[in-house]
Chains A and B, each alone.
Chain A
Amino acid sequence: MNTEYAVELEHINKVYHTRHFFYRDEETGRRRWYTKKTVHAAVDVNFGIRPGEIFGLLGPNGAGKTSCVKMISGLVRPTSGNVYVEGLHVEKKRLQVLRRIGVVLEGTRTVIWPLTPLENLNYFGNLRGIRGKVLKERARQLLDFIGLKDKMNVQVRRLSRGQRQKLAICIALIADPSVILLDEPTTGLDVQSSHAIREKIREMTRAFNKSMLVTTHDMFVAQDLCDRIGIIDKGKLIACKTTPELLDVFSDKTFEFRLDRIPEPSKFLSIQGVQSVALDENGEGPVLVVSVEQEETIRSAALYEIISLLRDDGYLLKSVSMRQQTLENVFLRLTESTTPSVKPIVSAENQLERRV
């Protein structure tokens, strides 16, 4: 256990077993009376969230983000490993942990529809052990803060999706928790609502020194919002860095050489400082994508060498450009599900693994 963290996951594994009766295998077409399937939703996941930090958990559908959130909040029990919230073991001190966290889960039914936002806050405040004057004041404050004050007395079923989401965030905050877990807070919201909610999340973290976990599959949200990002895929945490660091991993060292015909990529691998070579095909002809070492002198030498090799072989060099790094690119590289147009052909070493 590391006391530096407000939330810590330690060697977390989660395996779900599902049982199927009268099951028909899609591939072989065979029928079975009974099969058992296993899904690995978390494989040796380790990370921590510091106080006052927004931590983003980024991953494609089914990566295991929601499972992580539920394991931190004690709704799902890890198969093995320990989760600590402010030094308390979630499995052993679950009810105490629940007094310290606020959770917004996916879905819009987490609030009670026939009640108004104010009544919802009163109800869930009581459920979380808050009452009386404190509750009344905090409910109004929160509604004011999130911008729902004018909808305070409208039944939830008449509210829009974004307004419901805002209310769900208020409910999570009603007991003034120090750790807040938000599962996909901006999914399905329009640009304005998404922006407003992100603003509020930032404000909250900065102003009240909360620890925040935000899961999302929206790169833009993660890049915009999070101080640190963990990328999770098929249950494995494949990267966990600060946002600038993560962008740095592949940044200003991937170059695109637009050529007139398809080159032989393996040739360039022997050049010192070249880490990987790929071919990209698009409408304007083949593109050689080369990533090189970040160190400046080596990079310079490598680039000269690539260009001279191209000249020697008589390629027409249409343009050279440095690839703009976005979280999306990083994400795609890391999850190894490349875009259709970019296919890494060879790799000097298993760079991805080591970087992680």
Chain B
Amino acid sequence: MWHINGFFLVLKAEIVRAFIIMRRYWFASIISIIMGYATLITIVYGLMHTPSSVKEMAEKAINGILGFLIGVFAFGIVGLFSQGLQGMARTGELEQVCLSPFGLVTNFLARSFVAALGNIVSSAIMLILVAKTVAENLHVAPVETLVLLSLTYINLIGFGFMVGGLVLVFKQTGQMAVIVRFAMIGLAIFATEKISQWPMFARWVAHALPVTDAAICLKYTIIQGQQVIKYNELGEPIVRALEPVLDSAGKPILDALGNPVMNRIYETTFSSVFTHESFFFLILSCIIWTAIGIASFRFMENWSRDKGTLGAY
């Protein structure tokens, strides 16, 4: 009870602080959104000009943008636990936070929550702006997206806590964390459903990494969501899908490269992300990473108090 109470109190304090700083440095806040927007638009037009069919093109663009945004989200959250924590230790702010009777874990949960919230809001603004620019409307399934974003956040802070614990004790690892953070952007961009066709070992590695399944699920819902053409009488979304063209014997016709020719359009219900294989892996990943992360953070925090590295040392 004490900790839950504390979480909300710290949350309130962090939100107020974030607002004050955003207001006080409004110029920087606006610039960062403009920069993000410019980057996204560049990605969109870059992808649109790589020669391919129209549908593929749109999908690629959305895929790229979403991957990038999820990557930036991961980059930010993990950064809070690596460079952020390191900086706080250096300035002495970390010791101030450690003096809070709610404990470091509660404080960092609240802190990362506010950071995540800020990130999601600014990403949403950018996404809407980009969609407006390329004259599209965004369709998002609110429930699915919200659930997925929450899970992505839980997934990331689990990993973040583990990195944070390491940084508390071994300050040097902060530098390595930069590489990990960039790797996460890459991972988020390139994560596709195709990993189910990868070799066993690579597949497991991909699922074990903290952002893969989250990215796959989010992309799946949002990209599919864009293709919803109508809803059936049960309220289920209907999408258009492609089917291989069959020859008279019922076998798919292959093109010159040996791939099946896909151009028979049919309408089908859109299967929810909650039945997707990656969603299962995402939940698993959340549970495992959060458990590992918080346990190791607690352990490392004690070790850090032994070594006296909560401060500038």
Contacts and interface: CB of A to CB of B under 8 A. Distances in A.
B276 interface: no
Nearest to A109: B91
- Interface class of chain B by DSSP: helix
B101 A128 contact: yes
A131 B311 contact: no
B9 A16 contact: no
Interface residues of B, number: 33
Given A70-B311, A75-B311, A114-B25, A128 B100 contact: yes
A67 interface: yes
B95 A105 contact: yes
A74 B305 contact: yes
B17 A119 contact: yes
Contacts of A115: 17, 20-21
Interface in A43-80: 67, 70, 73-77
A129 B92 contact: no
**Range, interface on chain A:** 20 to 34
A110 B13 contact: no
B28 to A, nearest CB: 11
A73 B310 CA distance: 12
Interface in A113-134: 114-115, 119, 122-124, 126-129, 131
A96 B12 CA distance: 22
A331 B204 CA distance: 65
Interface in B76-100: 91-93, 95-100
B16 interface: yes
B95 A16 contact: no
Given A95-B102, A119-B20, A126 B93 contact: no
B4 to A, nearest CB: 12
Nearest to B5: A129
12 contacts: A75-B311, A76-B306, A77-B306, A106-B92, A107-B92, A107-B312, A109-B92, A126-B9, A126-B12, A127-B96, A129-B6, A129-B102
Given A95-B101, A126-B12, 16 more contacts: A70-B311, A75-B95, A98-B101, A107-B91, A107-B92, A110-B93, A112-B17, A119-B16, A119-B17, A123-B13, A123-B16, A123-B17, A127-B97, A127-B107, A128-B99, A128-B100
